[in-house]
A and B are shown apart, each in its own frame.
Chain A
Amino acid sequence: MKPLITLTKIETRVFLREPLAVFWGLVFPSLLLVVLGLVFPGAQQFSEDLGGARLVDLYAPTVIGLSLITLGVSTLPTILATYRERGILRRMSTTPVHPSRLVLGQLVIHAGVAVVASAASIALGRVLFEIALPANLGGFVLAFAVGTAGLFAVGLLIGALAPTASSGQGIGLAVYFPLLFFAGVYFPMQVMPDGLRTVAELMPSGAVVRSLADTWAGQSLQIPNLVVMAAFAVVFGLAAVRLFRWE
């Protein structure tokens, strides 16, 4: 346990010294919500087209999804592939502590950053736009946890296999933009055609944003959303564990 604690402490400091990871994973989602709410015309107006909600209300769960996607499929695989390419994983395999601990530490750090980024978005939304706090808090936390696991598992599999930092980054980006699309970052899921929305909810990013939105509004967590997120977590997670290349 002691190695994992020291490792997580030191790797957190290393992570926070990486300006790009901090900006895109931690700062940008909140910034997007703030800019959208302040600049986009009518973002704070109740709209019939959006089912009587405001654009900022719909966007709050989306920016949380954005944070999870960025950390999970962009930042995480890039760091893991870098650690492989630079021989950091191999170097650690010469010590009594297996390099899987380093991977575990990275998952803990990314999950921690996701929690902080999401809490910041919720707090800023509350203060600036009077967005209500999640009404079904238990369902919200469950959706956040399982959704994080599903998205991080996708990134973990990329990071398990990519031989170099640039290939990890490249594969990550190829997966990143479709996931953003299905999360409703470009336009909200609520205005997607029914067929497209069904596809989106089969993706971990769509499922997490939909279930965060539902529970935020006080509804219960939809079982199909939960199953999609859990399935990605289990299938991609197990594949990553089985296929992880340590050198």
Chain B
Amino acid sequence: MRSKRGLRHDRAMAIIEVRDLTKRYGGRAVVDEVTFSVEEGEIFAILGPNGAGKTTTVEMIGGLRRPDGGSVRVMGLDPIADPRRTKEILGMQLQESQFADRIRVGEALELFSSFYPSPVPWRQLMEELGLSEQERTLFSRLSGGQRQRLSIATALVGSPKIAVLDELTTGLDPKARRDTWELIEALRDRGVTIVLVTHFMEEAERLADRVAVIDRGRLVALDTPRGLISSTASRQVMRFRPGTPLDPDDLRDLAEVETVTDEGGTLTVTGSEGLVYAVTSLLARRQVVAHELRVDTATLDDAFLALTGREPETEETER
């Protein structure tokens, strides 16, 4: 994985504090005593399957819904008691929100910039997001990627300290998705704190400094992507077919090896860190050639599976 660029303060300040946050619909808790804090300048991902309560959580942070329990503070402000000031410092891009078909890109940006006390110049923002050529294009004629960029632009036009981006890349083609990711990193490098709601592992793994995993309304894990992977799926897996017979017990004697299974001449060896070095060293000493050698390291997918007991959704299921 790439190292994260950007501003990591030595003593990071919490810019959003969420404590025991709860929301019920018809007696059922869709957000159930969730507690976390987001540090200034980080990219904080909220990851979970559809219907896990991610969007409801960020809607309460943004002051769109009133919590049934617990508290939210955004730079010390209560979003329900002080919605106007909260919304001035927190820009939100909502899932599936659109604009009027016959509004032009430039008009939408001018309109949203008029809502804020000290907006960034909207033409400059339009240029940064690569929408200048579409200034006079009607919303209905924009591509999916252009619509998404306009949506991001309107979330940023008020010059927010925090940007909440919900299911940002859902439905985008891979090129548009990569462009959007670069945009988010550029944004973070300018000091904007980003809360990213997603159900794509790859997105969280690539972008996030920390990931909160929410499942059925509950916070089930909160760590860096790397931390999540190593804490929940530390095992490594090797598969190979020995060129000459090899006693599985010789492998089992290695300290790093946990299990060895033999399926029709193909050995599957699992173990902890250092497994690969230990096994290849043994094979080299015995002068055994390993055919069809595969080494699998755990990904955030495996971590997600371990945490929620469910397969993460893939892009294919999305379409």
User: Which residues of A does B touch, CB under 8 Å?
Assistant: 2-3, 6-7, 10, 13-14, 17-18, 82-83, 86-88, 90-97
Contacts and interface: CB of A to CB of B under 8 A. Distances in A.
A17 B110 CA distance: 18
Contact of B100 (A2, A14, A90, A93): A14
A94 B92 contact: yes
A88 B92 contact: no
B94 A87 contact: yes
A87 B64 contact: no
B158 interface: yes
Nearest to B114: A6
A82 B158 CA distance: 25
B114 A2 contact: yes
A55 B116 CA distance: 54
Nearest to A85: B98
Given A94-B62, A95-B116, A87 B98 contact: yes
Nearest to B100: A14
Contacts of A86: 97-100
A10 B94 contact: no
9 contacts: A3-B114, A10-B103, A18-B102, A86-B97, A91-B94, A92-B115, A94-B64, A96-B87, A96-B116
A14 B103 contact: yes
B4 interface: no
Nearest to B89: A96
A83 B114 contact: no
B135 interface: no
B153 to A, nearest CB: 13
B: contact size bracket: 20 to 34
Given A6-B110, A13-B107, A90-B94, A95 B158 contact: yes
B96 interface: yes
Contacts of A13: 107
Contacts of A87: 94, 96-98
B254 to A, nearest CB: 56
Residue of A6, A14, A87, A90 contacting most chain B CB atoms (<10 Å) = A14
Given A13-B107, A18-B102, A96-B84, A91 B116 contact: no
A242 to B, nearest CB: 18
A200 B191 CA distance: 64
Interface in B60-105: 62, 64, 83-85, 87-88, 91-92, 94, 96-100, 102-103
A139 B98 CA distance: 43
Given A2-B114, A10-B111, A14-B102, A96 B88 contact: yes
Contacts of A10: 103, 107, 110-111
B94 A17 contact: no
Nearest to A97: B115
Contacts of A92: 115
Nearest to A7: B111
A83 B111 CA distance: 15
Contacts of A97: 115
Residue of B64, B100, B103 contacting most chain A CB atoms (<10 Å) = B100
Contacts of A95: 87, 112, 115-116, 158
A11 to B, nearest CB: 8
A90 B95 CA distance: 11
Contacts of B92: 94
B42 to A, nearest CB: 21
A94 B63 CA distance: 8
Contacts of B88: 96
